[in-house]
Amino acid sequence: MSVYALGVGMTRFTQQPDRSPQMLGAAAGAAAMADAGLRREQVGALFCGSVFGGIGIGQLIARELGMSRLPVVNLENACASSGVALRNAIAWVASGGVETALVIGVEQLTARGPGLVKSDSQGPSEQLGLTLPGLYAMHAQRYLAESGGAVEDLALVAVKNRGNGAMNPDAHFQAAVTVEQVLESPMIATPLTRLQCCPSVDGAAAVAISSARSAGDSPAARGIAITGWGMVSGNALDVPGSEPEATRLAGDLAYEVAGVGPDDIDVAELHEPFTIAELEHCESLGFAARGEALNRLREGSFALDGNVAVNPSGGLLSRGHPLGASGAAQIVEIVRQLRGDAADRQVPGARIGLAHIMGGNITEIDSSACTVHVLCA
Amino acid sequence: MSVYALGVGMTRFTQQPDRSPQMLGAAAGAAAMADAGLRREQVGALFCGSVFGGIGIGQLIARELGMSRLPVVNLENACASSGVALRNAIAWVASGGVETALVIGVEQLTARGPGLVKSDSQGPSEQLGLTLPGLYAMHAQRYLAESGGAVEDLALVAVKNRGNGAMNPDAHFQAAVTVEQVLESPMIATPLTRLQCCPSVDGAAAVAISSARSAGDSPAARGIAITGWGMVSGNALDVPGSEPEATRLAGDLAYEVAGVGPDDIDVAELHEPFTIAELEHCESLGFAARGEALNRLREGSFALDGNVAVNPSGGLLSRGHPLGASGAAQIVEIVRQLRGDAADRQVPGARIGLAHIMGGNITEIDSSACTVHVLCA
């Protein structure tokens, strides 16, 4: 059973409070259908991943797209929402339930103002100061202590990703930065400065998948095979002496299904809401040995022309992080890379790609979701 | 490819503001696993349907159940949330992604107070008076005018379902009522009196499904085959001259997959938040010709010993309606009926059952989701 990504599309990720979630989602969905050469009556089901989209967000998007009388499934798995949406769409396609499905991730964060996260999801841990920046900062401190790295090394993640994002017209930040700029930006939670934290933005991304390699009447569509998938719940962050377990487990599942290993991956989009996260996930996905990601980063292994190009889109740090939309945006980037359509940020000879997204309540044990997908040109 | 319901379980549906969504969900999930003879390590994935469960509700339930490192998928499709969760679980099982999955529907409504619906989802239509009772009342008026029925006839739906619910220990209301009591209860939206409106309650329901007919080491488990499924978005209520289109389309799909028709169904659980809804859906599912459901009801066709027993559990009107949990509770009832385990409310010789649930923004065109499942002993 093969599943193909027939087309992808996204809005720019940026602060755009005047565009409703359904407007954003429909724009991305229409772009993916156009890219695939799919007419709306050829879409058998719609899967919508969103955290704050509200009741029936997928139905509202379907209506904007002029699509009705098809299954519309709304999924919420925090930041991994559209990764989970894709995994579910694959199950429907692989089971023969539908031939072709549209997956949309969407989030409108800024229209609701800065109080969003505080009012909707702040629990006891956050009230004690264990906010996301605080938690990742503690991980960064330990990582640096254990690996012998310096804050300058950590900043290199932001420098790389902002550099990549500068070549991505869909990214929120489109300007390269230096190590000095990263370290001189305001301190958020030591050692993480502001340029090491992803921006909250609005946007949507979409991918049309199918059991057919093309949309039939559209020879222009170039299907990219989705060859592996893995999904688990588990721990999002490493605990002392351990690692981000969910990433390793989901990655191993995806590698097994795809019949590939870490060394085969040419390009990867990883979940890095903060610089430290990219290093941890690179290790859990096998792109570097434990404690070695900083060294590999310094050597250029994760650059566009490195062993595995990590976050060529600019990642969450540069593209921005509209929660439920980020997982789908990763697929958009991987498909563009594997088609050779990534313009100035093209990874040379990219043939096998990987997308990794994670979400959930990271301050609680076993409360995150992680999906990994492997794609092959 | 066959999929079986191996076990079912639910909490009582009633007002229980002291129990959190994760407590309710875990109680139902544990009951379904015990009923199936499944150990938690045998469950390959968890699907959680809820409207107001919050971010990562399925992960919280999994943790309560001591389950981790498995895919946990959270789904929202308004009142149809757990019907959609079941449909997705079937896709995973049918695609070979997992062998066994646990589906949980859960809703905690009363802990948040009566302002819930008003504050979270009231749109312009509701502000103009087009609330759910008002909308269904308009349908009831037209239905009575077109069919020549009387308000006494409409009340018979409540009388039947409250009578059934009186024999269901999991139902919120467990007392039979008379036509007079139904009509003398306070008027909510003419002609719908209070006893014709479902109560808002809290609760959870669960079903364990598998591609295997039993849990292997548990010969006691009696798998009930899920032979048909259909899901569409569309219009929830009929529009003048039309019908509840989503019901007809989803039903037709499920009948086709199962290879049965309306005349084959012995027992059905239908979405009836208000009395009028049961009549409309009976017609759209083919249990009565258009405009004839009232006549069939009067003749006893929908009684426990009728042609097709409709809402033997007591339905939403009697069991209560904890939004995201109602779809799973219907499956619980159908499985119990097809096993012959329904005690005093047992439908004699029930062999084929159907569950129908609908949800979404019914005041908007094309904004609802509907699932229909067919089960066979």
Q: Of the candidates B204, B209, B222, B224, which has an alpha carbon nearest to the alpha carbon of residue B10?
A: B204
Tell whether B70 is within 8 A of chain A (Cβ).
yes
- Given a contact cutoff of 8 angstroms between Cβ atoms, the answer to whether B14 and B172 are in contact is yes
| Residue range B310-336, pLDDT digits in tens | 999 999 999 999 999 999 999 999 999
Tell whether A150 is within 8 A of chain B (Cβ).
no
At residue A120, the pLDDT reads 44
B178 alpha carbon, distance to own chain's centre: 24
Contacting residues of B for A83, CB less than 8 Å apart = none
Q: Which residue of A has its CA nearest to B122?
A: A55
- Given a contact cutoff of 8 angstroms between Cβ atoms, the answer to whether A282 and A288 are in contact is yes
CA–CA distances in Å: residue B180 to residues A135, B139, B158, B183: 62, 22, 11, 5
Contacting residues of A for B88, CB less than 8 Å apart = 73, 88, 91-92
Would you state the structure tokens that stand for residue B304, as one six-digit string?
Answer: 């426990």
| Percent of chain B at pLDDT exceeding 70 | 90
- Given a contact cutoff of 8 angstroms between Cβ atoms, the answer to whether A264 and A375 are in contact is no
Tell whether B54 is within 8 A of chain A (Cβ).
yes
**DSSP classification of residue B343:** G
* Environment class of B97 (CB within 10 Å of its CB; exposed 0-12, middle 13-18, buried 19+): buried
Would you state the structure tokens that stand for residue A173, as one six-digit string?
Answer: 């930040």
Residue A216 CB coordination number (10 Å): 13
At residue B363, the pLDDT reads 63
Report, as residue numbers or ranges, the catalytic residues of B: 79
- Given a contact cutoff of 8 angstroms between Cβ atoms, the answer to whether A83 and A373 are in contact is yes
Q: Which residue of A has its CA nearest to B359?
A: A56
- Given a contact cutoff of 8 angstroms between Cβ atoms, the answer to whether A240 and A31 are in contact is no
Q: Of the candidates A106, A169, A55, which has an alpha carbon nearest to the alpha carbon of residue A323?
A: A106
Tell whether B245 is within 8 A of chain A (Cβ).
yes
Strand B100-107 relative to strand B45-49: parallel, antiparallel, unpaired? parallel
Tell whether B247 is within 8 A of chain A (Cβ).
no
- Given a contact cutoff of 8 angstroms between Cβ atoms, the answer to whether B236 and B246 are in contact is yes
Of A74, A91, A249, the CB nearest to B75: A74
Tell whether A364 is within 8 A of chain B (Cβ).
yes
Of B63, B76, B95, the CB nearest to A366: B63
d(CA A60, CA A58) in angstroms, rounded, equals 5
Is the CB of B76 less than 8 angstroms away from the CB of A74? yes
Tell whether B209 is within 8 A of chain A (Cβ).
no
- Given a contact cutoff of 8 angstroms between Cβ atoms, the answer to whether A76 and B73 are in contact is no
Is the CB of A75 less than 8 angstroms away from the CB of B76? yes
Residues of chain B with pLDDT under 70: 1, 113-129, 216-221, 236-243, 362-365
Contacting residues of A for B97, CB less than 8 Å apart = 91, 94
Interface test with B, best of A48, A75, A88, A233 (most B CBs within 10 A): A233
Q: Which residue of B has its CA nearest to A85?
A: B73
d(CA A354, CA A311) in angstroms, rounded, equals 10
| Residue range B116-162, pLDDT digits in tens | 444 445 555 666 667 888 888 988 999 999 899 999 999 999 999 99
Contacting residues of A for B70, CB less than 8 Å apart = 232-233
- Given a contact cutoff of 8 angstroms between Cβ atoms, the answer to whether B324 and B236 are in contact is no
- Given a contact cutoff of 8 angstroms between Cβ atoms, the answer to whether B75 and B84 are in contact is yes
Q: Quote the ipTM score.
A: 0.93
Of A55, A76, A120, the CB nearest to B121: A55
Q: Which residue of A has its CA nearest to B66?
A: A366
- DSSP assignment string, A168-184: -TT-S------HHHHHH
Contacting residues of B for A101, CB less than 8 Å apart = none
- Given a contact cutoff of 8 angstroms between Cβ atoms, the answer to whether B364 and B183 are in contact is no
CA distance B279 to chain A (A): 22
Interface test with A, best of B47, B68, B99, B373 (most A CBs within 10 A): B68
**DSSP classification of residue A77:** B
d(CA B103, CA B371) in angstroms, rounded, equals 15
CA distance B163 to chain A (A): 33
Q: Which residue of B has its CA nearest to A71?
A: B232
Would you state the structure tokens that stand for residue A313, as one six-digit string?
Answer: 């889109």
Contacting residues of B for A56, CB less than 8 Å apart = 76-78, 359-361, 367-369
Q: Which residue of A has its CA nearest to B47?
A: A75
CA distance A86 to chain B (A): 11
Q: Of the candidates A44, A338, A328, which has an alpha carbon nearest to the alpha carbon of residue A170?
A: A328
Report, as residue numbers or ranges, the catalytic residues of A: 79
Q: At what angle do helices B151-165 and B132-147 cross, to 10 degrees?
A: 120
CA distance A52 to chain B (A): 9
Is the CB of B56 less than 8 angstroms away from the CB of A361? yes
Residue A377 CB coordination number (10 Å): 18
**pLDDT values of chain A reduced to their tens digit, one per residue, 377 residues:** 689 999 999 999 999 999 999 999 999 999 999 999 999 999 999 999 999 999 999 999 999 999 988 999 999 999 999 999 999 999 999 999 999 999 999 999 998 765 544 444 555 566 666 788 888 898 899 999 989 999 999 999 999 999 999 999 999 999 999 999 999 999 999 999 999 999 999 999 999 999 988 876 555 557 899 999 999 987 766 555 456 788 999 999 999 999 999 999 999 999 999 999 999 999 999 999 999 999 999 999 999 999 999 999 999 999 999 999 999 999 999 999 999 999 999 999 999 999 999 998 766 667 789 999 999 99
The residues, ordered by sequence, that sit 6+ positions from A353 with a Cβ below 8 Å of its Cβ are A265, A266, A267, A268, A269, A334, A335, A337, A338, A374, A375, A376
d(CA A194, CA A183) in angstroms, rounded, equals 9
**DSSP classification of residue B346:** P
Interface test with A, best of B72, B106, B365, B372 (most A CBs within 10 A): B72
Is the CB of B77 less than 8 angstroms away from the CB of A74? yes
Look up the pTM and report it: 0.94
Tell whether B51 is within 8 A of chain A (Cβ).
yes
At residue A193, the pLDDT reads 98
Q: Of the candidates A176, A34, A32, A42, which has an alpha carbon nearest to the alpha carbon of residue A100?
A: A42
Of A68, A92, A96, the CB nearest to B233: A68
Tell whether A208 is within 8 A of chain B (Cβ).
no
Is the CB of A94 less than 8 angstroms away from the CB of B97? yes
